[in-house]
Amino acid sequence: MNNRIDSMSNIENTNILEVKDLEVKIKLDEGILTPVRGVSFNIKEQETLGLVGESGCGKSLTSKAILGINNKNCIRSGSVMFKMDNRCINLLEYKRKSKELRKIRGKKISMIFQEPMTSFSPLYTVGNQISEAVRLHITKNKKEAEKISIKMMTRVGIADASKRFNQYPHEFSGGMLQRALIAMSLVCNPKLLIADEPTTALDVTIQAQILELMKELQKEFKMSILYITHDLGTVAKMCDKVAVMYLGRIVEYASVYEIFKNPMHPYTRGLIGSVHNIGASKEKLFSIEGTVPLAMNLPDRCSFYDRCTSRDDKKCLAKEPCLTQVSEDHYVACYNIDNNKINDINK
């Protein structure tokens, strides 16, 4: 059986992406690192899912694994079902450099990275790099590709786009270059945009404008977004659902409303606390003690144990908790969630 192309029945009707048990292993001289350990989530059409967590918890490797753009030493397993053209394919079944994946990248699924300066080559004009995607996926005609690119550059708010088309990346400001990067990602009208910390390198006012622009374009192009960030503040603005990631696993998964109203995992509560408490305490800013450990030779116990303020030695040291459903759209991987809180939600 060809398990690359499956019938639509393998993916829920409104989902555009279904990631199941995604694992990424990296062979190092010291041993095998498993920075992504059985991640599962779905994204519906036109929905935005936020993938949130501190630096090093595996967000970028998860998104790169979806598109097959990890380093060569990363071994991926699990499944990534993507719906396109009335069929459903498992992206993990294709080789990284396969013709099929190249057709999907940039055309059906696009990605924006946090640092626009490293996404553009300094050697070519910005316009040349935007229209390259058009020439690859839409038309071979250079003039027509230029016209489509300039239209998109204008749409993302780049004034005097025909002139800007012939300029080099160093002639753009950070915010303008991020707009150009958005133009490059959306010029082929993808169905899914993976935005990895798209505004981290920008100052706060420009950040707000770029996020607003992404939301407008999402509506216009009827696109879904996987929004990767460590910043819960922007999640509230951008996302419909949130998956909180810790040490390569999703520890809480819920609607954005639920995450902020009823955060259940101590890690999620810590992340929210570190946003909400800014300015509230006169003594010191709230932070979660410690850092994300390395995902190598992990003992079978709760991976958040060492940093958790509500740990229970008997339960938490025995086994790593699974993601468990606590209400219709809320899943948590923790033994110590407050049962009263669950009853409240389920009422």
Ligand X SMILES: Nc1ncnc2c1ncn2[C@@H]1O[C@H](COP(=O)(O)OP(=O)(O)OP(=O)(O)O)[C@@H](O)[C@H]1O
Number of residues engaging ligand X in binding (CB under 6 A)? 15
**Whole-angstrom Cα distance, residue 134 to residue 181?**
14
Instruction: Write down the least CB distance from residue 297 to ligand X, Å.
Output: 14
> Hey, which residues does 244 pair with through a beta bridge?
52, 252
Q: Does 321 bind ligand X (CB under 6 A)?
A: no
**Whole-angstrom Cα distance, residue 82 to residue 109?**
10
* Closer residue to ligand X in complex, CB, 52/145: 52
Contact 295, 61 (CB under 8 A): no
Among 4, 25, 230, 307, binds ligand X (CB under 6 A): 230
Q: Does 71 bind ligand X (CB under 6 A)?
A: yes
Among 34, 42, 60, 149, binds ligand X (CB under 6 A): 60
Contact 165, 141 (CB under 8 A): no
Instruction: Write down the least CB distance from residue 293 to ligand X, Å.
Output: 9
Q: Does 264 bind ligand X (CB under 6 A)?
A: no
* Closer residue to ligand X in complex, CB, 293/310: 293
Binding segment (CB under 6 A) for ligand X, from list 59-67, 91-99, 205-213, 215-223: 59-67
Binding segment (CB under 6 A) for ligand X, from list 25-33, 183-191, 313-321, 322-330: 25-33
Q: Does 250 bind ligand X (CB under 6 A)?
A: no
* Closer residue to ligand X in complex, CB, 52/89: 52
Among 16, 19, 57, 308, binds ligand X (CB under 6 A): 57
**Whole-angstrom Cα distance, residue 22 to residue 38?**
5
* Closer residue to ligand X in complex, CB, 37/137: 37
* Closer residue to ligand X in complex, CB, 200/255: 200
Instruction: Write down the least CB distance from residue 227 to ligand X, Å.
Output: 13
Q: Does 119 bind ligand X (CB under 6 A)?
A: no
Among 56, 78, 157, 174, binds ligand X (CB under 6 A): 56
Q: Which of residues 293-312 bind ligand X (CB under 6 A)?
A: 294
Instruction: Write down the least CB distance from residue 344 to ligand X, Å.
Output: 32
* Closer residue to ligand X in complex, CB, 15/60: 60
Can you give the binding site for ligand X, defined by CB under 6 A? Answer: 26, 28, 33, 35, 53, 55-61, 71, 230, 294
